[in-house]
Amino acid sequence: MIKVILLGFGNVNSSLFNALCRSKEVSIIQVFNRNYIKVISPYESIPFIDDISKITDADVYIIGIPDDAISSFSESLSFKNKLVVHTSGGAAMNVLSSKNRRGVFYPLQTFSKQREVDFINIPICIEAENSKDLELLQSLGKLISKNVVEISSEKRAKLHLAAVFVNNFVNHLYEIGSDILKDENLPFELLKPLIAETASKIESLSPEEAQTGPAKRNDKKTIEKHLHLLANSTHKKLYELFTEQLNQKYGKKL
Ligand SMILES: NC(=O)c1ccc[n+]([C@@H]2O[C@H](COP(=O)([O-])OP(=O)(O)OC[C@H]3O[C@@H](n4cnc5c(N)ncnc54)[C@H](OP(=O)(O)O)[C@@H]3O)[C@@H](O)[C@H]2O)c1
């Protein structure tokens, strides 16, 4: 049985809570949140606390709070020599206070409190200062996911950077698409099969092989027309930048 205490109850830790609660080999001893949180049904037996001095004993403490707050929060913990991990892709392991044994338990996925996710295919990127702690994180990760990988802080920073491109930026492009349609009173639903196929395509093709469109074809007339249709100057700049990049990549001049 692995005893876990969750520190913070935002997007990531609430998702981890749901996943870990389903494992018979994990016992969630407490959930700490600086503001009181109502206990989630059917888990009324798990103590949710808002008093940091009441945090008790566990095998691993998982901090799931914004990156900027991790360092000072870990310093404010009153216990010592315990295994304390954070769940960040971008923060190094050593942002954690050295008064505890440090580690990382980074689930590489996008989490929102309103949406439950299945952890089984989510890569859990782990790191720890010593091999015993790494083993414990490995065991904990394997209880919820079939993909647990050891990754250093340096490599994780790059992984996180790549994740920002393929998730956050792509999602922002969805927003731009949605805005363009909104102006014409067209529903975003029209684009959903295209979005789904774009994501599913890269299961069998490389991103390079999957690329299509006017920029790759160097279809100048369509590109000019699109630039003319774009009223928003930032969207126009993005369109030009992407088109230029794709032209360079596929060897055709604009
Ligand atoms: N969201 C994602 O998709 C995702 C994916 C992978 C990894 N991560 C990483 O996971 C970590 C948590 O992300 P998240 O999206 O779950 O964050 P989040 O939802 O914004 O976290 C909110 C939680 O942090 C607490 N909190 C905020 N500032 C605090 C402070 N100064 N001291 C103590 N507690 C504080 C909040 O407490 P109150 O309720 O009291 O305000 C709340 O429990 C981050 O390191 C992030 O980089 C996020």
Q: State the Cα–Cα distance between residues 106 and 126, nearest whole angstrom.
A: 6
* Nearest atom, ligand 1, residue 9 CA: 43
Model confidence at 250: pLDDT above 50 = yes
Domain holding 203: CATH number?
A: 1.10.1040.20
Least confident piece of the model among 93-97, 179-183, 245-249: 245-249
162 and 146 housed in the same domain: no
Q: Is the CB of 23 under 6 A from ligand 1?
A: no
Tokens of 141: 């990760």
Look at residues 118, 151, 184 and tell me which one is the last residue of a structural domain: 151
Instruction: Report the alpha-carbon distance of residue 233 to residue 243 in Å, rounded.
Output: 15
Compute the distance from residue 7 Cα to the ligand 1 centre, in Å.
Answer: 9
What is the H or E stretch that residue 30 is in? strand 26-32
The CATH number given to whatever domain includes residue 55 is 3.40.50.720
- Ligand 1 close to Cβ of residue 100 (< 6 A): no
The predicted structure's pLDDT at residue 71: 98
Average pLDDT on 183-197 reads 97
What pTM value is reported for the model?
0.92
Distance CA 12, CA 117 (A): 10
Domain around 94 = 2-151
pLDDT of residue 39: 76
Q: Is 9 in the pocket of ligand 1 (CB under 6 A)?
A: yes
Number of structural domains found in the chain: 2
Q: Is the CB of 141 under 6 A from ligand 1?
A: no
The average pLDDT across 179-206 equals 97
Judge if 89 and 112 occupy the same domain: yes
pLDDT of residue 162: 98
- Overall average pLDDT of the 199-205 stretch: 96
Q: How far is CA 134 from CA 28, 105, 249, in A?
A: 19, 10, 41
Can you tell me the distance from the alpha carbon of 101 to that of 83, in angstroms, rounded to the nearest whole number? 5
CA-nearest residue, atom 38 of ligand 1: 35
Q: Which of 151, 174, 192 is the last residue of a domain?
A: 151
Mean pLDDT, to the nearest integer, of 35-48?
84
Mean of the pLDDT values across residues 107-133?
A: 95
Of 108, 128, 151, at which residue does a domain stop?
A: 151
